[in-house]
Amino acid sequence: MTQDAEVDMKDVELNEVDPEKQPMTGGDTGNGDANSPVTEKNGSVKVKIPDEKESKFTGLSKEELLRVAGTPGWIKVRWALLILFWLGWIGMLAGAIVIIVQAPRCKPLPEMNWWDYGPLYQIGDVESFTGDSSLKGLEKKLDYVNKLKVKGLVIGPIHASIPDKPQDLNLQEISSDSGTLEQLIKVLAEAHKKSISVVLDLTPNYKGSNPWFSNSSFGQVADKVVSATNYWLGEGVDGILLHGVEHIAAMDSFWTTIRETVKNHTQDEKKKALIGVTKSSSVADVSRQLNKTGVDLLLSGILKLDSVQETTEVVERLYSAQGNHITWNIGDRVRGHLASIVKSARVKLSQLLLLTLPGTAVFNYGDEIGLEDSEGNVYPKMLWLEALNDTEKEEKAQRTSLHSFFKSVSELKGKERSLMHGEYLLLNSSSNAMAYMRRWDQSERYIVALNWHPSESVTLQLSHSELPEKATVVITTAAKQLALDTTLNLAQLEVGPQEAVVLKFPYTA
């Protein structure tokens, strides 16, 4: 054999023993039988691992475990862990007790009624407000009222009454000019769905000179008022309102009976309201009538803005005597609308004052947009913003601004405890400006500053132990000059002419 042949034979032998050079396709299995079944597929490699007996960890036996656990070392470890556990538990308990003892305690919330959560909205003449001669039109306007965040609607009077004729008085019948009982029931149902309470004005002789007719008929009329109160509260009305309470304040038996009638209709902890209206304008008279009649709310002519200093004195004295159970109004169904009394430039200031003083604010329909009486008419037609055309852009912008401002303050009033039922604290007052704080327990504090001067700014120096150096703007009548969330220095608080600002700062222990 030649040398080349020997090399070729070595290559053949290497190819046979080298597994990488063996074909991986099906076919001959190498046992000489070309028809044998294929046992492996291309690309797969089978590795056989010899069986091994699985090892298992059995751990310590019971005897071994007890023997180990009884050694002195393990006994010391167990005692150490037990002592550490109880020391930690006692430490956590002691820490919790210290936190509870040192934490400031929350004051119990005062008794709250539905009229304490927001303002009341009075509609003396339904047709003037809705443009519809029946109560059906009022049902359609409840969405608008609801967006103002008011909590109560005072309707009417809507009962049948002939001026100065007590014999024809029927307080349980709706006049044909106002609508039907069915329409009123629908108004009540829709208002209650929106969490708006409805009060009826049952002033007997609302078209005559004396709201209670004459002295000789007081007894007869008073009986009709009690019967009508019982009837309307039974129909689902949430309260009644009576003008001219000064005329019958001395009738103790009447007020005792009507208070008991109202109390008997209280259901599901929602109290029915007894509201009075008086022309009295002195703190002494208003306090006396409140105590004598026992009404829940008393509207009066006590709040005048001719003198800011007089206003602060009135608020201080009435708050000291009645606490948060006060009603604030500037106009009403008889005296007219807010803008006609304070003039348009001071409407926002008046809205802010009424909504941030302690107690309940009452507004006439249209006060939120600066609606004014026309030629002595206290029932002007309501102006709807969407109805104003392109030629009235300036008027629409002004009324829209008033409307937005009213809603923002009313919403703030209804969600902040300090403004709903917090304490009132006068911080500063002068002939043209005033500033006061509303605070409740651990809630955020609010400062209200108002300047009534028509042309001059005022700088208020606010000083109180609880006041921080600065506070944050949340409401302002000067939105163009003062942005919300701006921080202002309370030691030198500047307020522009006929402007107002509401500031807040957090409670600190």
DSSP state of 189: H
For residue 283, give both structure tokens: 């703190």
Domain residue limits, the chain: 115-415, 426-505
CATH of domain 115-415: 3.20.20.80
| Pair 152, 121: CB distance under 8 Å | yes
| Calpha distance 459→482 (Å, rounded) | 15
| Non-local CB neighbours of 169 within 8 Å, separated by 6+ positions | 160, 161, 162, 204, 205, 213, 221, 224
The model's pTM is 0.80
Enter the DSSP assignment of 119. Answer: -
> Do the bridges between strand 423-429 and strand 433-439 make them parallel or antiparallel, or are there none, so unpaired?
antiparallel
> Around Cβ 342, how many Cβ atoms within 10 Å?
21
- Tokens representing residue 294 in the block: 């026992």
For 441-450, letters b (16+ CB in 10 Å) and e give: eebbbbbbbb
Quick one: fold of 426-505?
Immunoglobulin-like (2.60.40)
CB atoms within 10 A of CB 283: 19
Q: Which residues, including other chains, have CB under 8 Å from residue 379's CB and lie 6 or more apart?
A: 124, 125, 128
CA atoms of 170 and 161, how far apart (whole Å):
6
Per-residue pLDDT of the chain (509 residues; tens, 9 = 90+): 444 544 454 444 444 445 444 544 444 444 444 444 444 445 455 555 555 555 565 677 777 777 777 788 888 888 888 899 999 999 999 988 888 777 667 788 888 999 999 999 999 999 999 998 789 999 999 999 999 999 999 999 999 889 999 998 999 999 988 999 999 999 999 999 999 999 999 999 999 889 999 878 888 999 999 999 999 999 999 999 999 999 998 899 999 999 999 999 987 778 999 999 999 889 999 999 999 999 999 999 898 877 888 899 999 999 998 888 899 999 999 999 999 999 889 999 999 999 999 999 999 999 999 999 988 789 999 999 888 887 788 899 999 999 999 999 999 999 999 999 999 999 999 889 999 999 999 999 999 999 999 999 999 999 899 999 999 999 999 878 888 999 999 999 999 999 999 999 999 87
